[in-house]
Structure 1
Amino acid sequence: MSDDIFEVPEGTEYRYLVQDEGQEEIQYVRRHYFSPFLVISRRCMFLITCGVLALLALAGYLAYVAGTLPSRRFVEVETDCGRLRGQWNDGAYSFKGIPYAVPPVGQHRWRPPEDLREARKCWNGMYDATRFLSKCAQVQPLRKYGKVMGQEDCLHLNVWTPSLHPAKPLPVMVWIHGGYLHMLSGHEKGYSPTEELAARTQTVFVSMNYRLNAFGFMALEVLREGSATNSSGNYGFMDQIQALRWVQSNIHNFGGDAERVTIFGQSSGGTSVWTLMMSPLAKGLFHRAIDMSGSYIYNATLETAERDNLEFLKNTGCKDAVCLRALNITQVLQAVPWLEYPSWAADDLTDLPMKGRFVGPVAVVDGYVLREPPFQSWEKKNGIYNDVPFVVGTTEQETDFSPPYENISTWTWGDYRWFVTEKLTLFGEAVTSRALKLYGSSAPCPTSDRCPERLYTTMTSDMRVTCPNNDLAKRAAGALQSPVYRYLVTYTPSRQANASSLLPFPSRFSFHLLDSLAFFGGLEKVMGTLSPADIYFQEVVTKYFLHFAKEGKMPEEWPEYPSHTAVLGQNVSFTMSYSGQRCDLWEENGFYSYAWMN
């Protein structure tokens, strides 16, 4: 290489590196045309060589590990609408965001779901099913100016399976989320299946999104006009049925047994389970059912709902379906009568009732999904319903998840008696007196504080949920040839829950959601570190649900209803009549008409 001589001016970085103390201001150096990065010592060369060799060894090891995993981070499965790419994690495969119907947007809004294959809208190539997609359009809280979230293009389901090719097809459990029929999704953390759950239980799980609130349940005469079903509303239930059809057609490709499908849901998800049991459209799509804290009142006619929902139509300013389908998501949600009758937010349902005050229907007897009120079908034994093994469950303090009074945790016994008297006075002095006697301050309390809160939420839960669901289970047992089981959760967690998107209140007792969170391993999310007793409770719930899903019945120690109710507390026990006298009070005085609906 040729050499040159360069003058290095004072003050440059290069001069600083080569100039010694005391040298003159100008120094001349000889330099080759190398990059300074190539002028390295032998020691550096040795270190670089070692580093390269280490990286090569690591790459070889990772390649070996990848070759020993089940194919092994990503996997492909064929469905009747095309191929899916899922992934392996925590001992199971997951496939997320799988479309199961044509997106219900534009002219498809407020219409029954359309099958992708029949509409010739299956995808081409490989569909990426490695992430959850949007929840359905909703607003939280349930108010005109709540936060709008989600999209209308939301009809997706998710599958978790421990094996794609098991020696014997695995039982399938299809989860239907709650949320008043207004909010949440099939992939809420702590409130939906996971890879870990599928691996631990060796069960295939499916969850789904379905249309909610006005998009899923708005019944209006203008929407009935031109309808192939001559009905309106209940679109969300039709979505659930479409998802179950997808399960029947495809679940064998995921290692699942299409002849052992259990549907289970909590809150309005429990109401959905009951609806599917009673719908002839869902015949043969499932084989067991678990209704957790679902509704009891289910008799609103389509005509009644369409009349009540004229308030929504007035709020939109529309006169016809064309105008309604042109509204954007926010306009639709802001037009919902959340607080004014029919009061879709249903704020009153966690308190003792005000005499003569009711909320309007969201789910309706539309003549299509439901041909007649459920109790009427059971009484007739007309065979249009699904006769499958059935579990009905509730928790002892359902309303503790969102009690009506912010200061309820600080109540004295004097406060308790005042509120009970204030609420029940219009129902008569005899009712008030008997209620205070049956729910007296001497009642056992598992904690040293918040006992008035516990007794008040027990009273409201008995009247609104527990006692009416005893009646529901009794009617089911009288109509079905299949076994019916009843459970009541009385377990008090080791500490109060943290308020969250799932729990708006720091619940302390056997709150609404407790059983579903226990099954999904979500108690830790809302409570933090769990005690051994909390963990045991989770194991108990999981044990019984899985046995029912696999066998179609509970273990021998759990008798059928109405002979016994399973009480899931610190331990499991079986009683012939839990809170019998308390339930008699509410039933004899007509309070079941104030039970939960929707």
Structure 2
Amino acid sequence: MSGLPVVGRYVTRSWSSGSAAGAERRQASPSPRQPRSTWRLPAFFRRRLEIAQRGGGRVGSTGPGDSEGGVAVTEEAFKEPKDPPPTLKDPRKDPMRESTSTDPIKDFEATPSPYDEPEIHDVGVREPRYLDLFDPGVSVVRDPKLDLPPTPPKSRARSVLAACLASLASTRVVVCCSVVLVVLVVVIVALASTSRHAFPQDPRIQPPYVTTVTTCGLVQGMVDGGAFVFRGVPYAVPPVGERRFRRSQPHSKLEDCWTGTYMANVTRPCWGYDSQGGVVQGFEDCLLLDVFTPQLGYDTPLPVVVVVGGASLGGDAQRPWMVSKAAQLVQDRRVVLVSPQLRRGPFGFFPHPAVAASTYPHTAGNQGASDLLAALIWTRHNVEHFGGDPAQVTLLGHRAGAALAWPLLSSRSGRDLVHSAWLSGAAPHHPTRSWRDADPALLESLNCTSVACLEAMPALQVMEAPPLEWRRPGHHAWLVADGLDVSFLPAMPQVPLVLGSTEQVAAEPLLSWRGRLGTSRSLLLDAILEGLRFFSTAQEPPTTVRPSKAAIVTGYGNQGWPPPLTKRREEEVQVAVVGAAAAEAALERYSEEVTDPWLLLTTLVSDATTTCPALAAAASLARSVAHRRRTPVTATPVYAYLARHARASRAGTLADGTTDLEALLGLLPLHSAADRSFAHALQELFFRFVADGVPERHESTPAQLGVYLVGDGFTVQRSRPLCDHWANASHLAGRF
């Protein structure tokens, strides 16, 4: 039995002849008895042998031609045989046990062989038992599958990945994954919404309201998108009653403040004049300011910009429009914007001798200038509660605001309140007239000689008292030298400074000439003469003509300061009139550069009254700074710019007087790519200057070396050749 080829669990067999013939041959020629062996049958085959002896587990095979080596298990293989083999009762006769007889051959012959199969009736299909596996007449063929190399087992990670990829192919799994993703998104949103309760917000912010503290008490503003807006915050004692024509008084006493929380949601306007000289009604209690901030924290304070504008010191009707988009601007540029209201017209600039006699020091006028100083003092003490840095305050003055800010930058009161200044639309001009020499026409129109009379007069009567000619922008110089807020002698500003203008800044006052110029040269000459007289005021004597290096008019140094109380002679206060010959020469010079009559007129008058004096003053100051750098005294830089971007407006397609301010405050309509480029370039210069004190990231160009020309981008021009014509005409600088 040791030589039998037993292989695997799947076998196929073939007989040397048919199934019936094979059965007869085996019956006729029984297998010879094998000699007795002393080896022990393994346990596996021993169990198989016991199953075979009991008649169970039969394997049926198909005929030689019915299958290609396959094996079929018939139903009869699982049934009990009809004649079960007799059970060996004598354990000594068990062929699987070792013999205990002394005669093994005799004992083997007496014991029936367990390999003798019972007679199997041929019923057409041979049904051999497992015992046939040991029959030498059966040819055993090895299953081909057993010869294949074993498949290498996959790692667990690869198996899981393969299962996941296979599952994604089904639509059901995709739908399930989508549902799971939606559930996760909902859970994340829910956690984000509930996290506010886990981390409480700033208790000062309770949308739509926001509350912060000032030196005078709590103020409540509004949440505007991502910014916080406080409108109408008081910064000084109300100038009413006995304080009507007095200097501003910051809050210094407890009784000057409010109790509870001040609702800073609306701003009361001040009295003023419009562009035609009409009275704009307002309130006397209007010393209020607006604050726009993107944050309220103290850890990272932001730069602060204080904005003061207006076409004239007589009125500022455009202020609400000027700050209409400030909430979005402070979010985009990360600054804090402060916009104070100032008294204007007679309430802001009224140098009456009776008022001066009742105060000490004895001075009068410039109440509006003291308002700006009080607003800057409030900013220094309170802006930190609005997220700003009190050590980084930039004053942005436009036109009348620039004219007012210029003398304050060099005064003793204002030099420490501002850390940089950007002045546009006005030539730097220090007032040359003292409050003692103010025009008596205003005093006579009021018909009051005592302070009590002035305090009791109705506000509308006070506003209507000045002549109509004074009320229009540019016809009257409201600012005077008072020796307190505005010094009698000019001084050098001690802060980084930028001076600039637009190329046609004087277009607005000349609008009446636009439709009637045509091609007439005589009309153009008349318009030039009127434009130059329009900005000329009774501030300079006819002999006041200074060289280009002294572009800032400093007054009458030979008269002594303060000026005497006597009225100047009429011939000394007459307006410096540009003669017809000078106007003709200017027209010839500008005709070489500009052909359009309206553009020529606006450019010529703008250069004479604003642009060229501003650029010359910047260059003169910058040269002085460069000279002082050789000494231990710390000098501050001075820069200059000229906005040349032409945009469509009611004055035509040109760079009018508000183009630069609109670009800086985000008000410029961005109709084209050129508009966007201009606004971006000017804002980059301005906000870089606000943050670092220089207009460029790399090496900035001081004013004595060049001017920033701002259009689609910005370039540096060495000088403006057209300004050479106005080197000796600084007395034409505009007044406000």
**Pick aligned residue for 2:507 from 388, 397, 400:** 400
- Provide structure 1 residue ranges, at least 5 long, that are not aligned to the other structure: 1-59, 350-358, 379-385, 446-450, 499-505
Matched residue pairs, number?
487
Pairwise mapping of residues 164-313 of structure 1 onto structure 2 (< 5 A)?
Answer: 164-165=296-297, 167-184=299-316, 187-191=319-323, 194-303=326-435, 305-306=437-438, 308=439, 310-313=440-443
**Pick aligned residue for 2:252 from 105, 117, 127:** 117
| Cα deviation, residue 328, structure 1 | 1.0
State how far apart, in whole Å, the 2-side matches of 1:573 and 1:294 are.
22
Measured against aligned partners, the alpha-carbon deviations of 1:345-375 in whole angstroms (never above 9, x if no partner) come to 25xx5xxxxxxxxx5531111111122232x
Aligned amino acid, residue 596 of structure 1: G
Over 3 Å counting, the alpha-carbon distance change for 1:185 and 1:281 in structure 2 is farther
**Pick aligned residue for 1:551 from 689, 692, 695:** 692
**Pick aligned residue for 1:585 from 725, 729, 735:** 725
Asked if 2 retains the 8 angstrom alpha-carbon contact of 1:365 and 1:371, the reply is yes
Over 3 Å counting, the alpha-carbon distance change for 1:263 and 1:421 in structure 2 is closer
Over 3 Å counting, the alpha-carbon distance change for 1:401 and 1:429 in structure 2 is closer
- Provide structure 2 residue ranges, at least 5 long, that are not aligned to the other structure: 1-189, 534-576, 626-634
Matched residue, 1:134: 268
Aligned amino acid, residue 439 of structure 1: Y
| Cα deviation, residue 433, structure 1 | 4.2
Aligned-residue Cα RMSD (Å) equals 2.7
Asked if 2 retains the 8 angstrom alpha-carbon contact of 1:158 and 1:208, the reply is yes
Structure 2 residue 733 is the aligned partner of structure 1 residue 595? yes
Matched residue, 1:18: none
Pairwise mapping of residues 122-521 of structure 1 onto structure 2 (< 5 A)?
Answer: 122-129=257-264, 131-143=265-277, 146-165=278-297, 167-184=299-316, 187-191=319-323, 194-303=326-435, 305-306=437-438, 308=439, 310-339=440-469, 343-346=470-473, 349=474, 360-374=476-490, 377-378=491-492, 386-403=493-510, 405-408=512-515, 411-412=518-519, 414=521, 417-419=524-526, 427=578, 431-440=582-591, 442-444=592-594, 451-480=596-625, 481-493=635-647, 496-498=648-650, 506-521=651-666
Structure 2 residue 225 is the aligned partner of structure 1 residue 80? no
Q: Residue 549 of structure 1 aligns to a residue in which SS? A: helix
Asked if 2 retains the 8 angstrom alpha-carbon contact of 1:241 and 1:282, the reply is yes
Over 3 Å counting, the alpha-carbon distance change for 1:463 and 1:85 in structure 2 is same
State how far apart, in whole Å, the 1-side matches of 2:421 and 2:369 are.
15
Larger radius of gyration: 2
> 4+ residue stretches of structure 1 with deviation over 4 A?
63-70, 415-418, 420-430
State how far apart, in whole Å, the 2-side matches of 1:163 and 1:229 are.
42
| Cα deviation, residue 435, structure 1 | 1.4
State how far apart, in whole Å, the 1-side matches of 2:241 and 2:716 are.
52
Asked if 1 retains the 8 angstrom alpha-carbon contact of 2:525 and 2:587, the reply is no
Aligned amino acid, residue 597 of structure 1: R
Measured against aligned partners, the alpha-carbon deviations of 1:494-534 in whole angstroms (never above 9, x if no partner) come to xx224xxxxxxx3431111110011112223xxxx621211
| Cα deviation, residue 552, structure 1 | 1.0
Matched residue, 1:32: none
Over 3 Å counting, the alpha-carbon distance change for 1:147 and 1:219 in structure 2 is closer
Q: Residue 422 of structure 2 aligns to a residue in which SS? A: strand
State how far apart, in whole Å, the 2-side matches of 1:149 and 1:470 are.
37
Q: Residue 507 of structure 2 aligns to a residue in which SS? A: helix
Aligned amino acid, residue 271 of structure 2: A
Identity of aligned residues (%): 28
State how far apart, in whole Å, the 1-side matches of 2:734 and 2:656 are.
15
Over 3 Å counting, the alpha-carbon distance change for 1:413 and 1:223 in structure 2 is same
| Cα deviation, residue 469, structure 1 | 1.0
Over 3 Å counting, the alpha-carbon distance change for 1:467 and 1:187 in structure 2 is closer
| Cα deviation, residue 163, structure 1 | 0.9
State how far apart, in whole Å, the 1-side matches of 2:463 and 2:583 are.
40
Higher relative contact order (CA 8 A, sep 6+): 1
| Cα deviation, residue 583, structure 1 | 2.1
State how far apart, in whole Å, the 2-side matches of 1:223 and 1:65 are.
62
State how far apart, in whole Å, the 2-side matches of 1:268 and 1:123 are.
32
Q: Residue 298 of structure 1 aligns to a residue in which SS? A: coil
Measured against aligned partners, the alpha-carbon deviations of 1:74-117 in whole angstroms (never above 9, x if no partner) come to 12111111011112112111111100111101111111112223
Asked if 2 retains the 8 angstrom alpha-carbon contact of 1:398 and 1:510, the reply is yes
State how far apart, in whole Å, the 2-side matches of 1:139 and 1:439 are.
34
State how far apart, in whole Å, the 2-side matches of 1:115 and 1:444 are.
51
Asked if 1 retains the 8 angstrom alpha-carbon contact of 2:528 and 2:605, the reply is no
Over 3 Å counting, the alpha-carbon distance change for 1:192 and 1:387 in structure 2 is farther
Tell me the TM-score normalised to structure 1 length: 0.76
Asked if 1 retains the 8 angstrom alpha-carbon contact of 2:618 and 2:703, the reply is yes
